[in-house]
Chains A and B, each alone.
Chain A
Amino acid sequence: MIRFGYSMIMISTLIITLFITGGCDVTDPTFIIDTAVTATIEIDEETSFYQGSEEVNLQELLDGIDGPVIDINVFNITLQIERLGNTPEDLSLNGSLSINGNTLMSLGDVPISVFANERSIFDDALVNQYNFSVDNDGLQYLLALFDDLPTVNVSVAGEASGNPVNVRVLTKLHAQVSTE
């Protein structure tokens, strides 16, 4: 009787397992994971002319991703400018941000307050309300680097509306990694 009970339990467990797993196939999943890398450039100039640069390793976009990388695509680039020290609150910037010397974005007398919070450089309001533009050639150059993910030089340079110029420029590249 006890052996019969054991047999019934084993058979029933297997039947139920087969029943409920028969209709469910777990696919070989491709996960899409959001990731980002930031270039932080500190500027501390007593005059109105400013410049600064930082090396950024694009391989950092793959930090924490264990599986094989199937694809990587950029979906956003953001800019934030933090005012430091005695920098005038109403300071405006003229200048550009470049990747390995290729201009990515240009600012024409844009108040730094516009970028007090992290903001997408592709925001329509920036183009419509301010003298701000994204250089398509520079963007194409950046996107082409994603085949190899090298270390790039991110630089800013230009002239501000006043002085001193003590700011922190944060440029963040947002990407998605498709992995298994």
Chain B
Amino acid sequence: MKSFYRMWSIMRVGIVIVLFTVLTLPSSGQNTFEETIEKITSDNVRGYIQPMLDGFGANINSGFPGSARIKKMGLTFKLQFVGMGTLIGDAEKSYMATPPEHIAQEPVQTATVFGGDGAVVEHPVYPLNYKFQNGLIDASIMPFAIPQLTIGDVFGTQMTIRYVPIPEIDDFPKVNLFGIGVRHSISQYLPLVPVDLAAGVFYQTFSIGDHLDSKATALTAQVSKTFLVLTLYGGLQYETTDVNLSYTYTGPLPPGDQSDRNVSIDLKGENKFRATAGVSLALGILHLHTDISVGKVTVISAGLGFGI
């Protein structure tokens, strides 16, 4: 029991380091991410952070066990630490936004959260200008990391569980992640097929502080072939990510706007389908894997696991 809690403490430290780096924004001032969002109007927030949500959705729907080899009856107990990253390209660094009505109505290209400087639009007559938000993260990859536990095999079925509860730490908000998935062996019904086949479904919830709630689902079809300690695997996946961003807007309302200051924005990740290819290595109780997924965005993941 003592050793378990020590292992858990070490893992928590790692996860806190990772999530803190990704989710908090260092500042010599004292504006936290949450306080900043509260001062941005809902129209700007949507386009500005969509790429981050797409990356988040792609990440959270990655890293599931890749090998389709599931015994009809047996013992699988594997704890994995999976790191994943969505590649950030030029398409994720800008979006088309419409300036305030009194300045101009032509959409302008401006920076997303991954972009550079925001666009500045000048009034055609008066000495006024409007600045769109600057990008905040200079990244070629949007990272994430998750621990997961896989257990089985019962009637050709394995279960995968993800659970990360992190309490509020100073300016870093509370984070909760929970995921559960089930994979079932198809090849057990097709003994003559020379590869392993499996199908799975995964469901996850993720929340940050009081502002962000998300749900993700994934349906997978997997194929793999094992050569001694080496397994080659691939698959197709359909996935959805739904995010609700809610906050109380504290900035000034646009002219004539009498709407409620309580803002609730529903956003959907734009990733729907992906194809995955990867390789895993089983060295006794040590398991390594890496794979790449290609869809609307490209995601790479790598994991280290312990168990049988």
Interface string of B278-301 (1 = CB under 8 A from A): 000000001000000000000000
> Could you tell me if B130 and A176 are in contact, using CB atoms closer than 8 angstroms?
yes
Q: Which of A67, A122, A179 is in CB contact (< 8 Å) with B126? A: A122
B134 near A30 with CB under 8 A, answer yes
Tell me which residues across on chain A come within 8 A of B22, comparing CB atoms. Answer: 20-21, 24
Nearest CB of chain A from residue B87's CB, rounded to whole Å? 9
Whether B129 lies near A13 (C-beta < 8 A) is no
Assess A23 versus B143: contact at CB under 8 Å? Given A8-B306, A16-B304, A123-B102: yes
Question: Within the complex, which residue of A10, A16, A122 is in contact with B10, where a contact is CB–CB below 8 Å?
Answer: A10
Known: A32-B134, A34-B251, A67-B30. A20 touches B18 (CB 8 A): yes
Q: Between A and B, how many residue pairs show CB distances below 8 Å?
A: 178
Taking CB as reference atom, which chain B residue is nearest A175? B252
Q: Which residues in B have their C-beta under 8 angstroms from that of A179? A: 29, 31
**A6-B7, A120-B101, A122-B128 given; A180·B252 CB < 8 A:** no
Say if the beta carbon of B261 comes within 8 Å of chain A.
no
CA distance A19 to B288 in the complex (A): 14
CB neighbors of B among A133-160 (8 A): 134, 136, 139-140, 143
Is A17 located at the chain interface by the 8 A CB criterion? yes
Task: Report whether B83 and A16 are in contact in the complex, using a CB–CB cutoff of 8 Å.
Answer: yes
Interface size class of B (residues with CB under 8 A): 35 or more
**B14 with A16: CB separation less than 8 A:** yes
CA distance A13 to B81 in the complex (A): 7
Contact with B along A56-79 (1 / 0, CB 8 A): 000000001111100001111010
CB of A83 closer than 8 Å to a CB of B: no
| Contact between A32 and B131, CB atoms less than 8 A apart | yes
* 15 A-B pairs with C-beta separation under 8 A: A16-B14, A17-B145, A21-B21, A23-B140, A24-B137, A24-B143, A25-B139, A26-B137, A31-B133, A66-B30, A75-B129, A118-B255, A118-B256, A120-B100, A143-B127
